[in-house]
Amino acid sequence: MFGNKEGDPIDVLVIEDTKIDGKEVAAGTVLKKIDAQLAMELASGGKVRAATEDALSELKRNQANAAKAAEARAAAEAQRTAATQAASAEVVAAAVAATLKTMGLVAVK
């Protein structure tokens, strides 16, 4: 039996989004004490693996790396937005100055 000789219920880590008993289960979910036969079926389909310490540690590392990558993307996007806003402000300022100049409202040095 999957994970044990007696067929006792087992904890598994879902490694691919799947449906179990008609319910959506997301990758990264730990299912506690599920039927060993069901665990074997899901494992043979590549949907779960035994929730060992190594598997759970790997999951935590992957989640931490994904969070860091998301932070880096957000920081890069914030920098792009700030640069775009600064460039837009310069363009607007130049356009206003040119308009005022053509209207004769600003002295040219």
Give domain limits for the chain: 10-102
What band does 94 get if pLDDT is binned at 50, 70 and 90? confident
* Residue spans of beta strands (DSSP E) within the chain: 10-14, 18-20, 23-25, 30-34, 48-50
Inform me whether the pLDDT recorded for 1 exceeds 50: no
Tens-place pLDDT, residues 35-76: 988 898 999 999 999 998 998 898 889 889 999 999 999 999
Cα–Cα distance for residue pair 18/48, rounded to 1 Å? 9
DSSP 8-state secondary structure symbol assigned to residue 51? -
